[in-house]
Chains A and B, each alone.
Chain A
Amino acid sequence: MEVNEKIAVDHGLKLDEYKKICDLLKRVPNLTELGIFSAMWNEHCSYKSSRLHLKKLNTKGKKVIQGPGENAGVIDIGDDDAIVFKIESHNHPSFIEPYQGAATGVGGIMRDVFTMGARPIANLNSIHFGSTQHKKTKNLLRGVVKGIGGYGNCIGVPTIAGQTCFDQSYNGNILVNAMTLGLVNKNKIFYSKAAGINKPVIYVGSKTGRDGIHGASMASAIFDDKIEEKKPTVQVGDPFTEKLLLEACLELMSDKSIIAIQDMGAAGLTSSSIEMASKGNLGIELHLDKVPCREEKMTPYEIMLSESQERMLIVLENGKEDSAKKIFDKWNLDFAVIGKTTNSKNIELYFKKEKVANVPIKFLANEAPMYDRPWKKTKLPQKIKFSNNDFKKLKFNDVIKKIISNPNICSKQWIWEQYDHTVMGDTIQKPGGDAGVVRVHGTKKAVASSVDSSASYCYAHPFTGGKQVVCEAWRNLVSVGAEPIAITNCLNFGNPEKKENMGEFVECIDGINEASKYLNFPVVSGNVSFYNETKDKGIKPTPTIGGVGLIKDYKNLMSMNFKSIGNLVLVIGKTEGILDQSIFAKVILDERKGPPPEINLFNEKNNGETALKLIKEKLALSVHDVSLGGIMIGALKMCIAGSKGIKFNKFKDLINIYQYFFAEDQGRYIIEVDKNNLKKVESILKKSSVHFDLLGEITDKEIIINDELTFTVDKVTEFYKGWLYKYMS
């Protein structure tokens, strides 16, 4: 088939992009070559809209071993141990087929981590759905949760934390972001950079099928006459094969036969082979009839663009083929030498002894388009003036009940009980805490991780929102007693060709960058997901931040559950009473305007470091950061976790009681302190210039406000834990 402009456009290429391809090649590409260009030049692989802005990110730090650009980021946690981690989106497939979409999202991110030689030790996820009233939400939620569980549980990696949000902006585009942490010896990390000429290129794992070829932009010209061969565009996951692949790869990695390794993720064999060659400044020659195929009569085009799961490409040392093959035979996996590295600097493909493609690799990688898309700044919205009249008709108990059982606040136990969170025997903080924590097997160390997003804040003001999410991740790690080290980001946005959406992206990045620099909390890996848009309606800007921190001695793990009756409760950080963009404003007052709460990075850092100091000196007995729902929801969650009550001190602040308890001012923590240590704690807080309020005292069961009993902890627990079970039943 002759390639022409129409076929190029059907492949998702713009006309000027197609023209550039012809100019570079000085000829018209054949169909296989066009397919390869379209895969490498699409947004997902080339980051053409985002690259310019991603360059600005703060990616350096003393503990960073590998920043963005590899399969995953790597940080040093001491004693030759390193943590490999990354977050990735699988949004579009999960909306079309929630189970497989979510499952293969988890499978893909785990492969990114074990490709680097690390054994995965924890999974996390951030999932966003449409309104709970929307007819699709329940099924999508059920399918996604089953998919995440189905894959992670089978592999035997614990899912230790996550986040679930509901908002109507996701009605037509759900978000499924999966994150994995792996443990590796820092001297035994594997990279994707090929080196050396005439080294064998090895294909291992599952066979290649026709699944996942090109998705929606698939050229109709190709499939019209063979419509019966068209398969669903969502890939199908096989966690069992992935488990075998994981064990086989780690076994092969224990000796020195691998030069470079890359998993076949998006754009399958195309991107994996080109990336390895490009990084090593080499050429690569592949014989496609040697690729193990699951289906008959697959063409070079299909083999190159298949996104079949659970496959890896390896550049091996010469002479190691037999010993490597033995390992893959043992694990019953396909193993095939399909080509070699060359000095041509081209990708050369052969099929049945015929050369079917020949393209200089730099055209596909370095010459990929990069756009400086026009973007629009978002103005800071005006502050809302709340008057006492707004609060007059409210009843405190009703407000508590409504907020604690709100879908975005309530317990997600229905979800995380379907995830194996204890396999591997090192989970010391399970889901439901501020961050999940796993021990570094066989050591005193533990790694904490959390995942956060704040789409409403980012929508109201992207720059502030971007800063806020990074701070939230930082706070969650501090709350479990971990020293925050680094982050990974999953940037979920609408259509970059619209200047409003592009503006949201640019300003969120600026916000992320500012907070990341100030807190010395560098970005080491990540992924961008654009075009989360249906019928012209995009999602709220949703950068998701996954944070990772270290607890040097796991016995110093901190938790949020109130420990003892009679202990005092303090709030660290100042409460000005900012209700704009709060859950309270939205759910109780139906007010969605206003700016997000301001971020003061000095206070953020100072308050967090002081909280860590109190934890280290064993003066704080329980800790929880104040986030959605303000002090009231924060304190109630601590009550619920510890099955205790709290008597709040009589309220004498100048601001309204609702403002005090439900404001979402940033940089705050609630801590529990023994009465006898109060003086010591006060002196540390004063010395560090940290504002604090004495909030109340822990009781047996009663939750008392202004000397009146509101609820018992059992009742509040029922509101908190009951909602999602009821919704899903």
Chain B
Amino acid sequence: MNSSVIIFPGSNCDRDMDVALKKFGFKNKMVWHDDDKLPKSDLIVLPGGFSYGDYLRCGSIAGKSKIIQSVIDYAKSGGLVLGICNGFQILTETGLLKGVLQQNKNIEFICKNVFVKINNSENKFFENIDRDILELHIAHNEGNYFCSEDELKSLEDNNQIAAYYCSSDGKVDDRSNPNGAIKNIAGIFNEKKNILGMMPHPERMIDQSLSGEDGSIFFENLLKNLK
């Protein structure tokens, strides 16, 4: 399977994502933000970091970068797009995903392990995944997902909420909400479920020496679904 990771100036999880994709069998290419064409890919990833310094608003300048039109075209034709952390923020800035990511409720950067409960596994990202709770890692200052009531209703009605922050035993409550996200939302899909944006970083948890290895479950399963 071919994947592409877009590098924006200020991206800093691009290498980590490259390492993870390759580890699980993707043939990955790195694509520079100033290019206008995407290589042939089965998956496009917008990695974490601080694209363009996150000046103005997180992800806003990246949302207007040269490569992004190709990403939008690719996504609209049904191609699979994954945005992690800053990548999620960029996807909301392009309008491919609804809502915004505000500053964390405690107004501090948070770096720690969290649990997320997968809410919808009828899509290429989570289909056949054998666990519904994953321990993943977050590292962000603006991960507090917010959207209007109407948007929330349509996200829920269309089953577009990908994952909720939860406790280790799957309870979705305030205590397990690290950043104040509305309804504990950790990630969402577009209507067709070919675009996933989420704050947690699966690429940082891909072997037992790191903070954990539940990220491996995500990548292994994703590759299987694409084959």
Which residues from B are CB-within-8-Å of A416?
111
Query: Chain B interface: which of A60-68, A168-176, A422-430, A475-483?
Result: A422-430
Query: Chain A interface: which of B9-17, B36-44, B116-124?
Result: B9-17
How many angstroms between the C-alpha atoms of A419 and B109 in the bound complex?
A: 7
CB distance from B102 to the nearest CB of A (A): 17
B209 in contact with A439 (CB, 8 Å)? yes
Of the candidates A239, A244, A418, A425, the one whose C-beta lies within 8 Å of that of B9 is A244
A422 in contact with B52 (CB, 8 Å)? no
B209 in contact with A554 (CB, 8 Å)? yes
B53 in contact with A422 (CB, 8 Å)? no
B interface residue count range (under 10 / 10 to 19 / 20 to 34 / 35 or more): 20 to 34
Of the candidates A240, A419, A424, A426, the one whose C-beta lies within 8 Å of that of B10 is A240
Of the candidates B19, B48, B52, B110, the one whose C-beta lies within 8 Å of that of A240 is B52
CB distance from A647 to the nearest CB of B (A): 28
Between B34, B55, B210, the greatest number of chain A beta carbons within 10 A of the residue's beta carbon is seen for B210
B112 in contact with A417 (CB, 8 Å)? yes
A240 in contact with B209 (CB, 8 Å)? no
Query: Chain B interface: which of A148-156, A605-613, A675-683?
Result: A148-156
Scan A393-429; emit 1 where CB is below 8 A from any B CB, else 0: 0000000000000000000000011111111111110
Known interface pairs A153-B109, A243-B12. Does A420 touch B139 (Cβ–Cβ under 8 Å)?
yes
A139 on interface, CB distance cutoff 8 Å: no
B16 in contact with A239 (CB, 8 Å)? no
Between A421, A422, A554, the greatest number of chain B beta carbons within 10 A of the residue's beta carbon is seen for A422
Which residues from B are CB-within-8-Å of A239?
50, 53
What residue in chain A is nearest B107 (Cβ atoms)?
A146
Of the candidates A243, A330, A418, A428, the one whose C-beta lies within 8 Å of that of B109 is A418
Which residues from A are CB-within-8-Å of B206?
425
Known interface pairs A240-B53, A418-B111. Does A424 touch B209 (Cβ–Cβ under 8 Å)?
no
A56 on interface, CB distance cutoff 8 Å: no
What residue in chain B is nearest A424 (Cβ atoms)?
B16
B16 in contact with A153 (CB, 8 Å)? no
B52 in contact with A423 (CB, 8 Å)? no
Which residues from A are CB-within-8-Å of B48?
423
Which residues from B are CB-within-8-Å of A555?
209
A557 on interface, CB distance cutoff 8 Å: yes
B204 on interface, CB distance cutoff 8 Å: yes
Of the candidates B50, B55, B137, B141, the one whose C-beta lies within 8 Å of that of A422 is B137
Scan B44-56; emit 1 where CB is below 8 A from any A CB, else 0: 0000111011110
CB distance from A141 to the nearest CB of B (A): 12
CB distance from B18 to the nearest CB of A (A): 10
CB distance from B212 to the nearest CB of A (A): 10
A418 in contact with B52 (CB, 8 Å)? no
Which residues from B are CB-within-8-Å of A425?
15-16, 19-20, 203-204, 206, 210
A428 in contact with B13 (CB, 8 Å)? no
Which residues from A are CB-within-8-Å of B141?
153
A154 in contact with B209 (CB, 8 Å)? no
How many angstroms between the C-alpha atoms of A149 and B107 in the bound complex?
A: 13
B210 in contact with A421 (CB, 8 Å)? no
CB distance from A558 to the nearest CB of B (A): 13
CB distance from A680 to the nearest CB of B (A): 27
How many angstroms between the C-alpha atoms of A419 and B112 in the bound complex?
A: 10
B108 on interface, CB distance cutoff 8 Å: yes
A155 in contact with B110 (CB, 8 Å)? no
Which residues from B are CB-within-8-Å of A430?
211
A350 on interface, CB distance cutoff 8 Å: no
A238 on interface, CB distance cutoff 8 Å: yes
Which residues from A are CB-within-8-Å of B211?
422, 427, 430
A332 on interface, CB distance cutoff 8 Å: yes
Of the candidates B15, B19, B201, B210, the one whose C-beta lies within 8 Å of that of A427 is B210
What residue in chain B is nearest A437 (Cβ atoms)?
B209
Q: In residues 128-157 of chain B, which contact A (Cβ within 8 Å)?
A: 137, 139, 141
A331 on interface, CB distance cutoff 8 Å: yes
Q: In residues 198-222 of chain B, which contact A (Cβ within 8 Å)?
A: 201, 203-204, 206, 209-211
Which residues from A are CB-within-8-Å of B137?
422
Which residues from B are CB-within-8-Å of A156?
12-13, 49-50
Which residues from B are CB-within-8-Å of A331?
9
- B interface residues with partner A (beta carbon < 8 Å): 9-10, 12-13, 15-16, 19-20, 34, 48-50, 52-55, 108-112, 137, 139, 141, 201, 203-204, 206, 209-211
20 additional A-B residue pairs with CB within 8 Å, beyond A153-B109, A153-B139, A243-B10: A149-B109, A154-B50, A239-B50, A240-B52, A240-B53, A240-B55, A243-B9, A243-B50, A330-B34, A332-B9, A418-B108, A419-B109, A420-B109, A423-B13, A423-B16, A423-B204, A424-B15, A424-B16, A425-B204, A557-B209
Kindly list the 8 A-B residue pairs having the minimum CB-CB distance in the complex, ordered from nearest: A156-B12, A240-B53, A425-B16, A154-B50, A420-B139, A428-B209, A418-B109, A422-B204
Question: What are 5 A-B residue pairs whose CB atoms fall within 8 Å in the complex?
Answer: A153-B109, A240-B50, A418-B109, A422-B139, A423-B13
- A interface residues with partner B (beta carbon < 8 Å): 146, 149-150, 153-156, 238-241, 243-244, 330-332, 416-428, 430, 439, 554-555, 557
